[in-house]
Amino acid sequence: MKILAIITGILTAILGIFAFTMPLRTFLGLGWILGALILINGVELIIGAFSGKKDIWQCVLGIIVSVGGGIILFNTVSRVMTDVTLAYLAGFVIVAYGIEMIYSACKGMKQSKTMGILGIICGILSVLAGGFSIMHPVLTMISVGYLIAFSVIMQGINMIVMAFAIDKAKKAIEG
C-alpha cells in the first residue's frame, strides 16, 4: 500500500510539473471537465427519469443537458467559449466578493475600526484584481493554470509524505 501511495504521489507531482509548464493548456482543460460533468448529469437525469417514478419531463431535461454537455465536449469552438466564459466569470466573481467585503467592512466598522479598514482595503484590492481579470482573460487563464499546477504538485508531495507518515504510525502502534 505504501509503495502504491508513493508511486501515485510521484506521478501526481509529475503531472503538476507538466501542468506548470503549460498553464494555459491546464486552464483550457476545465472546459473538458465541465463538459464531462454536464454530460454525466444529463445521463443521470435520464436514468433517474426511468427509475422509480416515471417522469417524461426529467427525461427531456436529461436529453437537453446531455446534448449541451456533448456540444461542450466535442465542439472545439463551444469548449473554447466555455473556457473564456469561465475566465470572465472568475473576474466577475472576484469583483462581487470585493464589493461584498467592502460592504461588510463598512458595517463592521462599529466593532473594530482596524478590521473595518483592513476589510475595505482587501475589498478594494479584490475589485481591482477582478477588474484586471475581466480586462485580461488570457492572463487570468494562465494564472489559474499556475494555481491548478501548484495545487496538483502539492497534492503529490502530500501523498508521498502521508505514505511515510502512515508507515511510521503503523510501526508506533504495533511496537
pLDDT at 175 over 70: no
* Residue 75 · residue 96 · CB < 8 Å: no
- CA-to-CA distance for 53 and 114, rounded, in angstroms? 57
Distance of CA 141 to the CA centre of its chain: 12
Quick: pLDDT tens for 103-129.
999 988 888 888 889 999 999 999 999
The per-residue DSSP string of 7-45 comes to: HHHHHHHHHHHHHHH-HHHHHHHHHHHHHHHHHHHHHHH
Residue 168 has pLDDT above 80, yes or no: no
Query: CB within 8 A of 99, min separation 6: which ones?
Result: 123, 127
Burial (CB < 10 A; 0-12, 13-18, 19+), residue 132, is middle
Would residue 51 be called left, alpha or beta, if left means φ above 0 and alpha means ψ between -120 and 50 degrees? beta
Comparing 28-32, 52-56, 73-77, 160-164, the range with the smallest average pLDDT is 52-56
Per-residue pLDDT at 41: 94
Average pLDDT, the chain: 90
